[in-house]
Amino acid sequence: MAVRREVRIGVVMRPDHPLASDPGMTIAACLPYPVAVAVAKPEGSIRKVIEPFLQPSALLRPPVVEVDAIPIVVDLVQIGHHVSVMTPIGAQNEIQSGNLVFRPLKDPSLPTNRFALVVRAAGHQYFAPTVFYENAKQHFEAINLPGAV
């Protein structure tokens, strides 16, 4: 059994940010501004996905702030001038309320990001994981995620 959601990688920012009205958002357009990225350890970081897009402009880009939790990235975006390259997962409430906006990136060859919750299909399923899976499945299927594929 599995729940899968594919979402585009995009930019999360305040509605009053200069890039908020740009419908053709690219990583290059973000580089004049401070960028915040959540870095998952040991794998799974969006930073690894966007790194090739950052390389050509390494001398011109501002520092990229890396943190280990999406809520910290969301706070940085809400209180400052940062933009965050991320999926809308973790900021969906702020996006839905209008406190933040999400713009999918239009960079060619930028992959989508897949969130998956997988449970072993064969054999006996224990009660707690089964209940968790069913609740998570209902929750993630009900979330409105901008940039969903």
Q: Is cis: bond before 71, omega within 30 of 0?
A: no
Lowest pLDDT segment from 31-40, 45-54, 66-75, 106-115 = 45-54
Check: CB of residue 36 under 8 Å from CB of residue 77.
yes
Predicted TM-score (pTM) of the model is: 0.77
Torsion angle (degrees, nearest 10) of CA 82, 78, 145, 27: -10
For residues 34 and 130, which has the higher predicted lDDT (pLDDT)?
34
pLDDT score, position 14: 96
| More confident position, 139 or 77 | 77
Q: Given the structure tokens 């930028």, which residue do they identify?
A: 110
d(CA 129, CA 47): 31
C-alpha span between 29 and 123 (Å, rounded): 50
List, for residues 66-117, the tens digit of each pLDDT value.
888 889 989 999 997 789 988 888 898 999 999 999 999 998 888 887 777 7
Residue 78, pLDDT score? 93
